[in-house]
Amino acid sequence: MTRLLALLDRLRRDSEGAYILEFGILAPVFVLMIFSLVDLGQLVYGKVLLEGAVEAAARDSSLETADTVAADATVTSTVRNILPGANVTSTRTSYYDFADIARAEKWNDTNKDGACASGETYVDENRNGRWDANIGQSGNGGAYDVVIYTVTVTYNPLIKLPFVPGFSGPQTLVSKSVRKNQPFATQKKYGSSSGICT
C-alpha cells in the first residue's frame, strides 16, 4: 500500500509531457481565434472601403457631368482590392422629392385593400404605363431628383470557418447612399395621365 501511495504521489508531481497535452488542447482554439480575427478584419475593412467608395460615387453621380458607369467601376475596383473576386452589383432609384421615397403612385382605392385592384383608377406619375407600389424610377434621374444608390457585394472569405455560424459561406455587404442631384436644369415633373388597374 505504501508503494502504491508513493507511486501516485510521484505521478502527481511529475510534469513531463504536460506542456504537450496543454498545447494539444489549446492550439486548435487559438488557431480558430486567429483565423476568425483575420476573417472579421477582412469583413470590417471591406465594409469601411465599401461605405467610403459608395459615398464618393453617389456624390460624383449627383453632378450634371455624372458618369455612373465610371463611378460604379471605381466602387468595384476599390472593393476588390480587399475582397478579391467579389461580385459587386449596384442600383439607382430616383424620386422627385424625399417625401416620395417608397411611395405608391396615387390611385382610387375604392375597396380599401392598399393595392391597385381591378377597375380602380390610378395616376401614372412615373410614366411607365402601369401602377407601381413604389413610384421610384430606375436610373440616376435628372436635376433636383433624389437618388438612392445601393451597392451589394457578395464575396467568399479568405478563410472559411466551417464550425463558426455566419462565416462558413459567402458573405454579403450592402451600402446605401441618398443624394439630391445638383440643380443643373429644370426638374421634370411627374406625369398626370390616368390608367385603370388590371
Q: To the nearest whole number, what is the mean pLDDT of the chain?
A: 88
Task: Write out the H or E segment, with its range, that includes residue 66.
Answer: none
Q: Has this prediction a pTM greater than 0.85? A: no
| pLDDT value at residue 163 | 65
Out of 70-74, 173-177, 180-184, pick the least confident: 180-184
Rounded mean pLDDT, 62-72: 94
Domain boundaries, the chain: 18-196
Sequential DSSP letters for 72-127: HHHHHHHHHHHSTT-EEEEEEEEESSGGGTTPPPPB--TT-SSS--TT-EEE-TTS
Q: How far is CA 101 from the centre of its chain?
A: 19
Q: Which three cell numbers stand for residue 53?
A: 467608395
Rounded mean pLDDT, 192-198: 87
Kindly report, residue by residue over 76-122, the tens digit of the pLDDT.
999 999 999 999 999 999 999 999 998 999 999 888 888 888 889 99
Name residue 152's beta-bridge partners.
89, 174
CA distances from 110 to 105, 119, 147, 197 (A): 15, 9, 32, 12
| pLDDT value at residue 152 | 98
Alpha-carbon span 34 to 38, nearest angstrom: 6
| pLDDT value at residue 11 | 65
| pLDDT value at residue 58 | 96
Rounded mean pLDDT, 159-170: 70
Under 8 Å between Cβ of 168 and 36: no
| pLDDT value at residue 159 | 78
Residue where the block lists cell 447612399: 177
Between 75 and 196, the higher pLDDT residue: 75
Residue where the block lists cell 449627383: 62
| pLDDT value at residue 162 | 65
Kindly report, residue by residue over 2-52, the tens digit of the pLDDT.
887 887 777 667 667 667 777 788 888 888 888 888 888 888 999 999 999
Task: Write out the H or E segment, with its range, that includes residue 125.
Answer: none
Kindly report, residue by residue over 110-154, the tens digit of the pLDDT.
888 888 888 899 999 988 888 999 999 999 999 999 999 999 999
Residue where the block lists cell 442631384: 181
| pLDDT value at residue 192 | 87
| pLDDT value at residue 17 | 66
Roughly what angle, to the nearest 10 degrees, separates helices 18-61 and 68-82?
170
| pLDDT value at residue 51 | 97
Residue 177 has pLDDT above 90, yes or no: yes
